[in-house]
Structure 1
């Protein structure tokens, strides 16, 4: 079977629309969805016939074409928290008569991966799961969200992974802490990827700062992501307050949206730090390379291990030759540690944030070495190489 003959069904609860990340959208897509999109596009470029089965932002069934990738969207009837509610997504790929040689489901939120499992069983085709997280039950949100996630994480997820022909973990570290992966018959590691060329913007760090209206001689710290308590952004901010007391030439940018945004802004105003801290809100994907290139260090201060399986921002920072400081979890250690592309924080520790910022500020040699290592990591994880690994995996499962 050649790549031109291989029909791949990618199943995921939500999938980006064209130019989805250039503006804010109520149809939520984050890391797992971006991985599914880039992988689908790269597989299509390799000649595979790729169809994505996902949900719509409307109450109508739609079929769209993004380049060589076909997207079949089941009708939605609103959302619970960030999860789109599209009940017929479970059965639409079967009732619509879609034909696949292999099913690849992305486990992030439940409906998409369940739809992939049902299709694979109904049509007796191989079933591959990439585990992006989401197996830990978090008791917040509406009663419908809590009930659905409880049923999925406590009842459905283990037999789902046991039924897979092979499960994929983006990091070695996640295999060690994931119960779902321990139930899988076979597990392999394929990392997430990054478009290195996208982050090569042809500007020095100083020039990138100038474009953002920041003193080019300042030491810039950057965070980009969700402003949610589990991300520990409040810990980063308080650590920066302490750090800035003795390093007045430092600046902090916190990019993103979420429930903590107003509280973070209030803290900045209360500390009279508006000249040193900028909270611009959502940063479109098109602008992210400029921010990453301007930063002297990128900080990922997450306090909940389950929220970080393979954060794409680590690779994006690496592609911009920006070293990282990240919370010391097994998943993150397996990315950052062996590659020496940064250092680690004690999760939830304000003092640890201050200490690590101090190290990077003072040690120019460490910044230089971690910068070189970061770019090397990104070069090894270009999307075309990641797609090649997945294609080889599909062939091995089929054969």
Structure 2
């Protein structure tokens, strides 16, 4: 929970979908729940399918939570017969009070994204009230583990990292063919960002740094595979900086086609927080699995998997010269950095992650 489809995009969807596939490969019967406007089922694998539950549509975060609570009540009988109910993200709230055997993956700690001490205390209070009845809690890294222990008072915490499907990101077509398909030239230098166009992602700083980088690279392109409320503001900034034709805004492609976008790129960049809550970006994990040298912000969760001079570089987002130099180094040392990126990504394979989570299941059965 929530169940996914073959076209997930955000972190919770990716986690649910990929973990479901890997658990099914271990022999588990996996059922995902997904709310929507229709009822039905979709089979992902022989022993993994998604059950759609129709609920009234309300366009808000609260509405989605209420919708999932209604879906959980509709599916209560099935949930009670499951050996384990594994909730992912904040939607766990919908099953907190159901008398079922449950665990939860806390993708990110909401208290980490709050700058206001009052809002941080309110979120901590909510977390302490919410996370009480699960039999085990899984978090993707030590940053979140420490936060939920201190702020939420959770004790039974297992640190199991986010995974990545290295094989699924292996290119099928030649790089030149993929570039031609998406309208790029063979001699373009493509710097890729994948994610939301929102505050905290340091996108104005990225555009400023890219202007400096592109001054010495005539064929440089910044490809923003993105969505979000800052698009119009960033389009205006692109014009102000004289980067028309060099910054490309592209809507997300279907999940199974994402390998094309990584394959046509030369480096990956994300100099803001992935979401500000201590989580590691799934897009960054994909980039590493595709062998892309990556540039991320210092002192963020993303810097856990990007090691300076090994598979990329960590930078100060507000220092455009540093970001530009890091991108330059990614090109100069691309072969070595790419090889290391892929090797590090293999350590985070979903198969390994599923095995570790399976061990957690065994402790509560």
CA distance in 2: counterparts of 1:257 and 1:349, whole angstroms: 25
C-alpha separation between the residues in 1 aligned to 2:184 and 2:72?
49
Between 383-392 and 93-102, the greater mean CA deviation after superposition: 93-102
Q: Counterpart in 2 of 1:392?
A: 359
Distance, in Å, in 2 between the alignment partners of 1:105 and 1:76 is: 21
Instruction: Name 2:276's counterpart in structure 1.
Output: 306
Q: Residue deviations 1:150-189, cap 9 Å, x none?
A: 9982433124335433221112333244456762212222
Post-superposition shift, 1:204?
4.9
2:337 corresponds to 1:370: yes
Inter-partner Cα distance in structure 2 for 1:180 and 1:30: 27
Gaps of 5+ in 2: none
Rounded to whole Å, the distance in 2 between the matches of 1:286 and 1:237 is 28
Alpha-carbon spacing, 1:304–1:196, altered in 2? closer, same or farther (3 Å) = closer
Against the structure 1 CA distance between its residues 199 and 260, is the aligned structure 2 distance closer, same or farther, given a 3 Å change threshold? Answer: same
Instruction: Determine whether 1:66 maps to 2:43.
Output: yes
Partner of 2:103: 128
Which deviations, in whole Å up to 9, do the C-alpha atoms of 1:302-333 show, x marking residues without a partner? Answer: 15762450211122111211111111234222
Structure 1 residues 240 and 338 mapped into 2: Cα distance closer, same or farther (>3 Å)?
closer
Which deviations, in whole Å up to 9, do the C-alpha atoms of 1:132-160 show, x marking residues without a partner?
11523878xxxxxxxxx999824331243
CA distance in 1, matches of 2:149, 2:363: 25
Residue correspondence of structure 1 range 36-51 to structure 2 within 5 A: 36-51=16-31
Equivalent of 2:188 in 218, 227, 237: 218
2:139 aligns with 169
User: Per the alignment, do residues 339 and 201 of structure 1 end up closer, same or farther by CA in structure 2, a change over 3 Å counting?
Assistant: same
Other-structure match for 1:24: none
Identify the residue that residue 347 of structure 2 maps to in structure 1.
380
Q: 1:39 to 1:19 in 2, by over 3 A?
A: closer
**Cα offset, 1:113, TM superposition:** 0.5
Number of matched pairs: 357
Cα 1:20–1:295 change in 2 (3 A) is closer
1:296 aligns with 2:296: no
Give CA-to-partner distance per residue, 1:212-241, whole Å, 9 cap, x none. 332322322110111112222222111101
Q: In 1, distance between residues paired with 2:337 and 2:63?
A: 37
Judged with a 3 Å threshold, the aligned counterparts in structure 2 of structure 1 residues 213 and 205 are, in CA distance, closer, same or farther, namely same
After TM superposition, the score normalised by the length of structure 2 is 0.85
Distance 2:197 2:275 in 1: 16
2:237 maps to 1:260: no
Alpha-carbon contact 2:296-2:315 (below 8 Å) kept: yes
Root-mean-square deviation (CA, aligned residues, Å) is 3.1
Deviation of 1:377 after TM superposition, in Å, equals: 2.1
**Aligned residues of 1:136 and 1:306 also touching (Cα < 8 A):** no
| Aligned match of 1:7 | none
Instruction: State the 1:70 CA deviation.
Output: 4.2
Task: Tell me: CA distance 1:213–1:191, structure 2 relative to 1, closer, same or farther (3 Å).
Answer: same
**Alignment correspondent of 2:160:** 190
Structure 1 CA distance for aligned equivalents of residues 309 and 92 of structure 2: 32
Q: For the Cα contact (< 8 Å) 1:75–1:88, is it kept in 2?
A: yes
